[in-house]
Amino acid sequence: MTTDVVQVFRLPDLGEGLTEAGLVQWLVKVGDTIATDQAIAEVETAKSVVELPSPFAGVVTALHGEPGDTIDVGAPVLEVAQGADAAAPADEHEAYRTEERAGSGNVLIGYGTSDRKAAGRRRRPVVASRPSSPAAVAGRDTDAGSRPAASSRQAPPATPASARTDADGATPTRDTDAGSRRTVAVRSPLVRRLARDLGLDVRTIVPTGADGAVTRADVLRAAVDHAVDGVGAAAARGSRGDVPEGTVAEGGELDGLAVRSRTRMSPLRKAANATLTRSRAEIPEATVWVDVDATALWDARREMAPEDGRAPSLTALVARFVLIALAEHPLLSSRLSDDAGEIVELDGVNLGIAADTPRGLMVPVIPRAHALSVAELDAALRDLTADARSGSIAPARLRGSTFTLNNYGGLGVDGSAAIINHPDVAILGIGRITERPWVVDGAIVVRRIAQLSLVFDHRVCDGGYAASFLRRVTELIEHPLRAFGSV
């Protein structure tokens, strides 16, 4: 007689200081037979909506939570019944325990393997039961949040493509400290998948494991060092917070009014709040704006459509004009050092595009946008915004901007006092393009007018410099033919 073993899958360590995830939807139901690494739910983190794969195979006997609930790290997600003979081989268990001791615990994505047999693996639960308070979760010690960042250490450069790559994904590199060749290995498929899902190149990660192996802790530290929009583990933990002071339970009253409902902030909203709060707290911002006659651009755009194709978007055209102006005003796409004692000018622009999505504001990034043509910018914009709105965008595509463009005209508004996307030092907003009376050569005519607003860090430049940049963008919009040579 075979006795079923019930495995409880608990939400693993999310990495990067995150302590919870929102349950978007279940992809399985009680009674379903699932395989190892089969996606069982979609969960929302501060990065994006991701599928949560099961580390166990068997029959689903219980689901914990409803769509919309928030699940803390260590809390049960689902239970799986499997035969007693379904245990993983002892050597595989030992390999996992060795890696567990070297790393920071399980992670949200990348802890399963796609090539493993149907047998599940037993894991030591993170906690015995659901934590009684958010503080209990926030206080949990993880390597991703407690170990020093590795950003000060330089990763060994990769060797030429002819270098050998073994079956474990180990790629020979040169140890820049010792000056001798050694192998940096990614021996575990768990680690390889984690690095891939986080958009990291394992060859750039500093290994700390035995025999030069990259561990999960190494991958998580690299992810923290490049956290989205500069929000690191401390900021993510600090955004978790308990119930705000002054709120009461459902059914109570607040300032004489009945409380209709209470909605817990999503992980994405908390991460955005941390970034925006930091921006307002640290940056002495100033704003300049101007009304621009976009009639010539509006008319010229229709002539840019290729045969059997569509014309580039106005956002793509304005983005190209902004990049031309930034090449002439590089301070507005620079960075401040951590102590604000130096202005760091960069060779090029990573252009962030503010996108309104069902999950909230996101800023996907077009890397090295200055090197792209209008057609390439248009294609990149369409891909980025589509992925951002679907929730499938990779975390790597949400970080590293050096200047942000916000076309809030698509929301039907004319202007906005935008908040700078830290650590950027400026953001340009575009209002809707509407027909308005305009004076041309002494006569009032109908023209297509839009408002541009530039918010900039006054520590980096003064108003005259910012105004010069805005005048240049305005000139290119009003006289697009002058930019065609650069487009």
Fold observed for domain 4-144: OB fold (Dihydrolipoamide Acetyltransferase, E2P) (2.40.50)
pLDDT given at position 163? 38
pLDDT given at position 140? 40
Give the tens place of pLDDT for each residue, 469-487.
999 999 999 999 877 754 4
pLDDT given at position 83? 65
Three-state helix/strand/coil letters over 193-210? HHHHHCCCCHHHCCCCCH
Catalytic residue among 64, 93, 370, 458: 458
More confident residue, 133 or 333: 333
Closest-CA residue to 434 (of 406, 409, 470, 408): 409
DSSP alpha helices (H): ranges in 103-176?
134-138, 143-146
| Mean pLDDT on 460-477 | 96
pLDDT given at position 263? 78
Give the tens place of pLDDT for each residue, 266-307.
777 777 777 778 888 889 999 999 999 999 999 988 888 877
Q: What whole-number distance in Å separates Cα of residue 113 and Cα of residue 183?
A: 23
Tokens at 123, concatenated: 């894991």
Res. 53 pLDDT band, cuts 50 70 90? confident
CA 465, 470, 471, 473 dihedral sign is positive
Do the beta carbons of residue 24 and residue 31 sit within 8 Å? no
Tokens at 97, concatenated: 């325990």
3-state helix vs strand vs coil in the chain, percent to 5: 30, 25, 45
User: Does residue 458 have an active-site annotation?
Assistant: yes
Burial annotation 458-481 (CB, 10 A radius, 16+ → b, else e): eebbeeeebeebbebbbebbeebe
Share of the chain above pLDDT 90, in %: 32
Closest-CA residue to 45 (of 262, 231, 244): 231
Do the beta carbons of residue 123 and residue 155 sit within 8 Å? no
| Mean pLDDT on 229-249 | 38
Residue-range domain boundaries for the chain: 4-144, 146-238, 283-483
pLDDT at position 369 over 60:
yes
Res. 335 pLDDT band, cuts 50 70 90? very high
Mean pLDDT over each residue of the chain, to the nearest integer:
73
Do the beta carbons of residue 15 and residue 191 sit within 8 Å? no
pLDDT given at position 116? 36
pLDDT given at position 451? 95
Q: What whole-number distance in Å separates Cα of residue 34 and Cα of residue 253?
A: 46
pLDDT given at position 280? 80
Q: What whole-number distance in Å separates Cα of residue 23 and Cα of residue 41?
A: 7
| Mean pLDDT on 128-153 | 39
More confident residue, 305 or 229: 305
pLDDT at position 130 over 50:
no
Rounded to the nearest 5 degrees, what angle is found at the Cα of 356, between the Cα atoms of 351 and 361? 75
More confident residue, 211 or 417: 417
pLDDT at position 108 over 50:
no
More confident residue, 378 or 240: 378
| Mean pLDDT on 29-55 | 83
pLDDT given at position 171? 39
Bond prior to 423 in cis (omega within 30° of 0):
yes
More confident residue, 270 or 100: 270
Superfamily of the domain at 283-483: Chloramphenicol acetyltransferase-like domain (3.30.559.10)
Judged on CB neighbours under 10 Å (0-12, 13-18, 19+), 45 is buried
Backbone torsions φ then ψ of 191, nearest 5 degrees: -70, -40
Closest-CA residue to 92 (of 59, 110, 117): 117
More confident residue, 245 or 198: 198
* Most trustworthy range by pLDDT among 63-77, 271-285, 340-354: 340-354
Closest-CA residue to 297 (of 326, 325, 320, 318): 318
| Mean pLDDT on 220-236 | 49
Do the beta carbons of residue 340 and residue 329 sit within 8 Å? no
